[in-house]
Amino acid sequence: MNCIIFCTFLQCNAEKQDFQIYPGNIGKRIFNEISKVAWNQWIKKQTILINKKKLTMENVNDRKFLEKEMIKFLFENHTLKTKNDTSFK
């Protein structure tokens, strides 16, 4: 049976992650507060950022940038992205 949590990003009950997918305290918070659906939305956004800004995960500054963007996206933006959000196009 799938575990259901209150997803702070979606602001509703949704399926919890199967395991902690990100390290450290941020990872614990994601595991406890962010659903699979919300995490998949972040992965799409992350892919766009990596491609648009030509980021590389070998570069420490690029990884730090993505982590900051992830925190903003998941925890500071408590509204769903709409079709008017050009970052998803």
Task: Look at residue 2 in the predicted model and tell me its pLDDT.
Answer: 82
Domain count for the chain, please give it: 1
- For residue 62, give the CATH number of its domain: 1.10.3880.10
Distance CA 10, CA 75 (A): 10
Length in residues, the chain: 89
Domain of 41, in residue numbers: 4-88
Q: Taking 50 as the threshold, does the pLDDT of residue 29 lie above it?
A: yes
Separation of CA 30 from chain center = 8
Contacts of 8 (CB under 8 A, 6+ apart): 33, 34, 74, 75, 78
Task: Look at residue 78 in the predicted model and tell me its pLDDT.
Answer: 53
The percent of residues above 90 in pLDDT, for the chain, comes to 83
Average pLDDT over residues 16-44: 96
Encoded tokens for 53: 């800004």
CB 74 within 8 A of CB 34: yes
Mean pLDDT of the chain: 89
Task: Look at residue 1 in the predicted model and tell me its pLDDT.
Answer: 57
Whole-model pTM: value is: 0.81
Partners of 74 in the beta sheet?
Answer: none
